[in-house]
Amino acid sequence: MDCGYFDAGRCTSCALMGQPYPEQLAAKQAHAEQLLAPFGVGAWHPPVASGERDYRNKAKMVVGGTVDAPTIGILDADGHGVDLQACGICSPGHRAAFPVLARFITLARIAPYDVAARRGELKHLIVTESPDGELMVRFVLRSTEPVARIRKHLPVLLAELPQARVVTVNLLPEHKAVLEGDAELVLTEQETLPMRLNDVTMHLRPQSFFQTNTAIAAALYAEARDWIRELAPDSAWDLYSGVGGFALHLAGDGAGSAGPEITGIETSVEAVASAELSRTDAALHRLRFAAGDATEFALAASSAPDLVVVNPPRRGIGAELAGWLEQSAGISHVLYSSCNAASLAKDLRAMPSYRPVRARVFDMFPQTSHFEVMVLLERR
């Protein structure tokens, strides 16, 4: 894939841009195999390739420029806006929405935030597209000052962008390098964005995490379901469950059976609310979600399940949870989905009683060095 922004030096976020995609994928596979070689992986499945472009379902764009000429993209080293509305890894739905949103910024007189001067209002636009082409649009603001104008002109935005099903304002009053704040104001009647993957529909709330690449996420969850179906566990935990992607796929196993009894644990209250809505819609009675810390939940539990699924952030599950899994003899299998193979390897060193019987790379992030790798661990 070629990118004019990258070639011109305007954006270098995609570090592998211009490298032939087969080479990217082969290098990721080789890196994963190298890191996990000490653990004797029983079988490596072929890597799951992504489309090279248009793959992101979530665009996290910095707003710069002026109210009459806003930029949607990133900031340069001097804090000036760099417009990236034609970014090739964003979805076509994103690229179609950006000009409409730029016009709306001018119409509603939402002044872009000036980082150097620490004035203005609009810091970021976060736009998520569902597999059905519907959008969630979030305006990240410094204060509530523009909210009345956004409400006033919202019918114009919805008329020009009818695929926008959820529109919100997120408040980030602090001057710091984060994407969003804690407070969220939903401006539309619909509060969640349905994300339909395989035969499962997940409801995405504004501050809930969802895998960036819809097609690869669908492949990841389907593969997990296939691997676990062969084991037929009666009980399972999904730790770091997010909006419930793994748990919802395992609870309804695609073969018509009820699936195992599953508990999903996630720190984000928003994500748990999303997962519970999806569970209720699907009438999955052997599945429940709760808000909490994964490690604290495991250590406080009076009994352990047959299977544990973990999908942690880049830091991995850590020594305490890894040690608990190592000592929990009743857990015969662990399904570990990792976005950082280095932290996965570190965690595996703390769990010598488990052997990776199968593994697979899922290329969630083409044009970058990042990827997802899923391993099935079996107690020796």
Active site residue ranges: 339
Angle at 45 between CA 252 and CA 13, to 5 degrees: 90
The structure tokens listed for 347 are 């965690």
What is the enclosing helix (H) or strand (E) of 122? Answer: strand 122-129
Residue 198 tokens, joined: 């395989």
Whether 360 and 344 have beta carbons less than 8 Å apart is answered as no
Q: To which residue do tokens 């570990």 refer?
A: 336
Q: Are 240 and 298 in contact (CB under 8 A)?
A: no
Residues near 185 by beta carbon (within 8 Å), at least 6 away in sequence: 144, 147, 168, 169, 170, 171
Residues 6+ apart with CB under 8 A from 154: 167, 187, 188
d(CA 132, CA 213): 14
Q: Which residues contact 323 (CB under 8 A, 6 or more apart)?
A: 350
Alpha carbon separation from 337 to 42, 311, 371 (Å, rounded):
17, 5, 11
Distance CA 5, CA 95 (A): 15
**CB of 365 within 8 A of CB of 371?**
yes
| Rounded CA separation 49/213 (Å) | 11
